[in-house]
Amino acid sequence: MKVLIAGASGLIGSALARLLETRGHTVSRLVRRPARSAAEVPWDPAAGSLDPRAVSGQDAVVNLAGSALHLRPWTRSTKEDLLSSRVGSTRTLAAAMAAAEQPPGVFISQSGSGYYGDRGDEVLTEEAASGDLFMSAVCRAWEHAVLGAPGRTVVTRTGIVMAPQAGALPRLLLPVRLGVGGPPGSGRQWWPWITLEDEAAALAFLLEADLSGPVNLCAPEPARAGELVAAVAAALGRPARFRAPEAVLKAALGEMAENLVLPSARMLPSRLTAAGFAFAQPAVADLARWVAGRAA
């Protein structure tokens, strides 16, 4: 299979590209600079520029492009970039695919668990309605941007991707290793987590699975923030007694905390498991062992 990846230099994109290449697939990468090899394809998503010939003949396109979700207060320009970088890149890809002489048969485009907003203990399958947070609106616009793409289209609502080297996990592990770790806020909010290994494997699975539309990418055992942090801390032999109060997080991080750290989303990967995907780390205990094994 020939697969073109947008966002291939990021955490998820790099892992997916490595996995696909080990399985014998041919991977090309979209880059925002002049191409340095035949495996690179230049584009300018901000300008809506991508030559349809670049996607013609590809079997699949995977869209993981979008500005990073940094742990710092959001400014107006930050929020505008969160929206435009996701919607613009998706529209650019969909338009190029629609104009291609030999359009790809599969388009997998990333979305996020923020689609559901802050929902308390409600169980969230793909049929659940969207929420009312800023990131909920971003995800709705992001998903709407896939319209017009030809072939089978999958929108992946990805949870918190756990990887020792980047993303949310190192931010949790640093205070844990220092002995001052603990959950943010009450610790009772549900976190829809997934390991990087399972995230990449799920995306590879969706390239060939008979699924279209929204698919939740998260472990089948969601966990409350306090449970997750406590399990990882115990696996590392460290305490997790401290808690960052919700008021402090809101004062320090503002809307960022309200959209990414404190919301509760009890997501289940209903369509993914029904299709037969097998998780390598399905439960919090598996996550803890996985983290400890990589931290050793």
Using pLDDT thresholds of 50, 70 and 90, give the confidence band for residue 287: confident
Specify the range with the lowest mean pLDDT, choosing from 59-73, 98-112, 127-141: 59-73
Q: What residue type is 254 in one-letter code?
A: G
pLDDT single digits (tens) 270-285: 999 999 999 999 999 9
Give me Rg for the CA atoms of the chain.
19
CA dist., res. 42 & res. 211, Å (int): 29
Angle at which helices 168-177 and 225-235 pack, to 10 degrees? Answer: 60
pLDDT single digits (tens) 134-183: 999 999 999 999 998 999 999 999 999 988 776 666 666 655 555 656 66
> Is beta strand 223-224 parallel, antiparallel or unpaired with respect to 190-191?
antiparallel
- Give the count of beta carbons closer than 10 Å to the beta carbon of residue 71: 13
Q: Which residues have a Cβ under 8 Å from the Cβ of 48 and sit 6 or more positions away?
A: 88, 91, 92, 95
- Report the domain count for the chain: 1
pLDDT single digits (tens) 185-223: 788 899 999 999 999 999 999 999 999 999 999 999 999
DSSP calls for the chain: -EEEEETTTSHHHHHHHHHHHHTT-EEEEEESS--SSTTEEE-BGGGTB--HHHHTT-SEEEE-------SSPPPHHHHHHHHHHHHHHHHHHHHHHHH-SS--SEEEEEEEGGGG---TT-EE-TTSPP-SSHHHHHHHHHHHTTTT--SEEEEEEE-EEEETTEEHHHHHHHHHHTT----BTTS-SEE-EEEHHHHHHHHHHHHHSS--EEEEES-SS-EEHHHHHHHHHHHTT------B-HHHHHHHHTHHIIIIIS---EE--HHHHHTT---SS-SHHHHHHHHHHHH-
pLDDT at residue 45 is higher than 80: yes
Q: Are 218 and 266 in contact (CB under 8 A)?
A: no
Bridge partners (DSSP) of residue 169 are none
Q: How confident is the model at residue 290, as a pLDDT?
A: 82
Q: What does pTM read for this prediction? A: 0.92
Using pLDDT thresholds of 50, 70 and 90, give the confidence band for residue 228: confident
Domain that holds residue 148: 2-295
Q: Are 99 and 242 in contact (CB under 8 A)?
A: no
CATH number at residue 250: 3.40.50.720
pLDDT at residue 104 is higher than 90: yes
